[in-house]
Structure 1
Amino acid sequence: MKLPTTLRALPMPLWLQGVFELGQAAVISALLVVIPVAAVWFTGGFADRTPESAARLAGQGWLVMHGVPLVLQFPAGLAGADAVAGLLHVIPLGLVLVPLLLAWRAGRRLARASYTDQLWQAFLGALATYAIIGAVIAYVSTTPEASAPLVAAALIPPVSAGVGLVTGAYREAGAWSRLVGVDFAAWVGRTSQHSRWAGSYAWSILRSGFLAVMVAASLAAALLAVAIGLNWTGIAAIYERIDGGIAGASVVTLLQLGLLPNLAVWTMSWCTGAGFALGSGSSLTPLASTVGPLPALPILGALPAGTLDHGYAALAIPVLAGLLAGWWFFREGENHFDEWLALHSGQRWLTSTVSTLALAGLIGITAGLLGAVAALVSRASLGLGRFTDLGPDPLSVGLWLALEVAVGAILGHAAGPLLEREPRRS
């Protein structure tokens, strides 16, 4: 017996498809936490924990993976003057990529299933589902020792999921007009020529600053990799002292992989000269390092200690990043401010100097703001004790990075004509 055509052709509502897509992403990302916790529990690593307690720990791990803070209470359940409370907060940038990439895939699928101006229905269902899942996990994972605020658990996980949804949908659609029904290119085309020049100039400045930060972060990550390789013996010794077995070592390694992007940002902060802190009373800069007792995390064995003879050489990394950004801006050919100055003054030496200083300053400010945001996101707090201040100071990083990138941008833009000069033909 065949079903009527109207029944066989009923599509799934977009909001319901969004529910399934991000519900699936939440389950898959939860496995990243549940499997390691279960492995440690089955091997006797949590001898004093019941299965329910281990499940709550996994739920708290899922929340922390998304950047949700946990309120710690020590001793557990004790109130009054003898109780110590703190806020554990860290965004493991390596682990948060997992839900973001899953949401990116979901965004592509939802964009493929949606018509123009209808994608919001799928997004609404998806993000509402993720918010509800976060709140439910926070509620069932509450223990006397640690708990997550329900509002934070409902609002913070959808941030990374929303970023993934939007970027994935745009990747699939190829244009904003297919997503929101507004043709931004046509809107820009209706503006005046001066507005378009100003917009393209500002957009090139923004991309140059972003390029400078990405180059500085990439070079800092390479420097971190070299430090890990050179200090591998000390890292292995910490693994031996932990003696957590295969399951315990695997969990520690997974945690370190999740924190590697954070450490790369800290290394970039170190290269600027601003340095970073590993607890109260500690300071790590290119010239000298003062570090107190540290947690038993093997990767911390790669930290420099004492006075560094040639640490100042690391300051060349942000300058080099600025040089490449200035050269890239020159290749873009979007220095419309310089063109405007040339139209209003015949003193070419003056207009060229002013425009170069202006673009270097703007690129430096952009890079400084982006670097400060990266430093802020990478910071962490273990909630109790002296480890409530982990990571760089965003203001110091932003100021130092802006200055050094601006210097490099001047050099890169000034060298642009020499680097792009075509060879003479014989």
Structure 2
Amino acid sequence: MELNTFNEGLLEFLGQSPTPWHAVGNMAGMLDAAGFQRLDEGDPWSLAPGQGYYVVRNGSALVAFHTGRRSPAEAGWRMMGAHTDSPCLRVKPNPEIRRNGCLQLGVEVYGGALLNPWFDRDLSMAGRVTYEDDQGRRRDTLVDFRRPVAVIPSLAIHLDRDANSSRSINNQQHLPPVTLLTAEHPDTDFEQLLAQQLRADQPGINLRRILEHEICLYDTQAPARVGMAGEFITSARLDNLLSCWLGVQALLASDGAQPALAVFNDHEEVGSMTAEGAQGPLLESVLQRWVGGEDRHRALARSMMMSVDNAHAIHPNYPEYYDDAHGPVMNEGPVIKINRNQRYASSTRTSGLFRHLSGELGVPCQTFVVRSDMGCGSTIGPLTAAGIGISTLDVGVPQLAMHSIREMAGSRDAHSLYRVLRRYFELDSLWD
């Protein structure tokens, strides 16, 4: 896939995936269109050679794989992993706050969100709803308001003259968005608003009452190419839907000859210790059902995982926060992430393989190491490496404004990483 087509698809995917459930639904649609067969975890599996399959858990995590034409015990698995969730604000179960003439919504901060950029944005809402139909059956569905329906207004600087130097945010007090004027809508509650939107989106829905909801706020500003020469991409959720997009595209574009798998976990931003997270049993369950017993251990010894999660590009306004020799630059290629205390799982073996593939394709490659006097973040890489015992690489696209409501990356880097990942999926042998 050439660069412009790749980026057009990426921007469309980002704009249509405001929540993990929407992202997984969109990835499942791509896999369906490519002829992959959806598996149900509750059914018996019968996997055929040379076929594509995928499985979804909780609607927010997905594993897709080619069985290949060789046994994993002999060929090993070529795996990549990313995560579907991003830091955001999520609506509380009983969210209504009626205060000073406004209907506001109580929200909870999900993950390590950078909060200041959420103020004064045109926000919408999307997520998953569980409801009861007229026959008393429970159903799940997705909802997306798509239009601006909420704002978190800043306090005017006239009332806080120190706002630019010392304003802090109290999550409970300052983050509830304004959605309605109560004088005009005195009896409206949040479930009514959800029901109205569901009936507008799905005119034939058989909705008696809403049982539960998982709703995220999101910025309605569309993803875009920006810069004087269009050299950047800006969007919400680049961390880590960008990696989900390139992972699916690389798997679909590969020749399918080798056993290859892509796992897209949920809940990475809150620790991954869930049924859908990287510390949960999802990946292990799929591998065990694919190949069991002694052959599974043989397969793992011949396998590798690429944990694909965005890296910190050097910020031109804050260079003092980076190691002088390890500050990645946007559009200078994918970034191998290294931490000797194993916050990243890269080793000389896995990093060397990636550099070898990059060199073959003429793709530049960079390295990130955090300053020695600062703490280091982590990814699903070390969790997966320890969980199933697999050689792992941490790699990603360099970006700015990580965990902001709008993030920034180079317009060439994702495509470069896609090319390397596709080649990796097609390798005859991982370890010569």
Q: TM-score, normalised by structure 1?
A: 0.27
Larger RCO (CA within 8 A; separation ≥ 6): 2
Bigger share in strand = 2
